[in-house]
Amino acid sequence: MFAVVRTGGKQYRVAPGDKIVVEKLTGEAGDSVDLTDVLLAGEGSDLKSTDGLTVAAKIVAQAKGEKVTVFKKRRRHNYRRKRGHRQQHTILEIVSIGGKGAAKKAAPKKEEAKADAKPAAKKAAPAKKADAAPAKKSTKAAAPAKKAATTKPAAKKAPAKKPAAKKTEKK
């Protein structure tokens, strides 16, 4: 059995027992990871439905890729910049392909509960602000009125003159 999985913006064709190097995932060596973004699954030329299909994997190690040197230079301008980079990777061993993912169905229920709680909190918050607002408005209302009376209109600036172009003699 094989599957095509997407993780870290890349796609991998995997089978049980394969080891793959992917972009860094959270976890330590020995932890298990479920890859839920399965694009294709099948055995031989027969394809299976990917609805709720997951790929179970085990983290073998957290590693770093090869060093990459980035060197920038502009001739005759004394400009040189040297930077380096080492990409962090996770080495995964594919344990099994199959298992139905129940995590996707549980997530929307939590979001609905949060959505129901937020409107109730918003309704209660304006009532508290309304009680404190009249005291603040009376002290701040006088200050902006004074500023408006004392300000003067800004003077217009003259347009800047451009320097005259230099004339060159033809030989």
Task: Domain ranges for the chain, please list them.
Answer: 2-101
Average pLDDT, the chain: 79
Buried b (16+ CB within 10 A) or exposed e, 78-112: eeeeeeeeeeebbbbebeebeeebeeeeeeeeeee
Cα 162-163-168 angle, rounded to 5 deg: 135
**CB-side exposure of 122: number of CA atoms within 13 Å?**
6
pLDDT in tens, 142-154: 555 555 556 666 6
pLDDT in tens, 51-66: 999 999 999 999 999 9
For 31, list phi and psi in degrees, rounded to 5: -70, 155
Q: Tell me which H or E stretch contains 142.
A: helix 103-150
